[in-house]
Amino acid sequence: MKLYYSPTSPFARKVILAAHALGLDSEIEKIRVDVYQPGGSYTEINPLKKIPALQTRDGQILLDSSFIAQYLNDLSPVNKIIPSAPERWQVMSDLAVADGILEASVLRLYEKRRPVDRFDTAFDGRQKDKVDQGFQYFEKNIARFLGEPNIASLTLMCALGYVDFRFPNEKWHDLVPRLQTWYQARQNDEAFLKTTPKD
Ligand SMILES: N[C@@H](CCC(=O)N[C@@H](CS)C(=O)NCC(=O)O)C(=O)O
């Protein structure tokens, strides 16, 4: 299989962590893509020019990190990261919150990269609020994430890592102490360390 990725993309990191948890990482060749370069042939892989994308064993292209993680989950006979129903529904709903934190954080990065006079403070504030409220949601529900990793907890790890990477001056840690303790206990996991984002 081939994973089109970038080392700074938290969505790609989610897929890599999922593949690792499912014992499929050795089967995945990583192909680095820069979606911010104009032109290029990546639109033939993903017309939306977003990463990640996965080329499956039989050559099919799958798009969207959570969907790719579901595909990998189905492939793996062991260590499922998505439980069967009824537990599945809560996990997928928690995943939606973690994905929402990622989406809001990526939008904030794009905003931060605008020329200063075009930075939209109100827009940035709305996205930051989603991130903060998302963190509070996980702080309140942290008991659900103490067991084996699932797709939601892996995505939450990526979200916390991404906020630290892109917004290092924002001290979310003190506001959500249980979440911070949870994160600290998992930060040294091999796959997580190996995928630390760098520009
Ligand atoms: N829902 C998508 C989001 C992917 C996404 O937004 N990736 C970012 C990189 S972190 C990207 O490719 N952005 C380029 C763009 O939006 O033009 C997924 O889960 O795969």
Quote the DSSP letter at residue 84: P
Residue with CA nearest ligand 1 atom 13: 50
Ligand 1 in reach of 51 Cβ (< 6 A): yes
Q: How far is the CA of 158 from the centre of ligand 1 (A)?
A: 14
Ligand 1 in reach of 35 Cβ (< 6 A): yes
Tens-digit pLDDT profile for the chain (199 aa)? 999 999 999 999 999 999 999 999 999 999 999 999 888 899 999 999 999 999 999 999 999 999 999 999 999 988 799 999 999 999 999 999 999 999 999 999 999 999 999 999 999 999 999 999 999 999 999 999 999 999 999 999 999 999 999 999 998 999 999 999 999 999 999 999 999 998 8
Give the E-state strand segments of 103-193 in sequence order.
Answer: none
Ligand 1 in reach of 11 Cβ (< 6 A): yes
> 72-96 pLDDT, tens per residue?
999 998 879 999 999 999 999 999 9
Residue 194: the pLDDT is 97
Helix axes 10-21, 65-75, angle to 10 degrees: 10
Question: How many angstroms separate the CA atoms of 129 and 136, rounded?
Answer: 10
Ligand 1 in reach of 66 Cβ (< 6 A): yes
Q: How far is the CA of 50 from the centre of ligand 1 (A)?
A: 4
Instruction: Specify the DSSP element, H or E, that contains 53.
Output: strand 53-55
Q: By the 8 A CB rule, do 18 and 81 touch?
A: yes
Ligand 1 in reach of 14 Cβ (< 6 A): no
Question: How many angstroms separate the CA atoms of 73 and 91, rounded?
Answer: 14
Q: What is the pTM of this model?
A: 0.97
Ligand 1 in reach of 166 Cβ (< 6 A): no
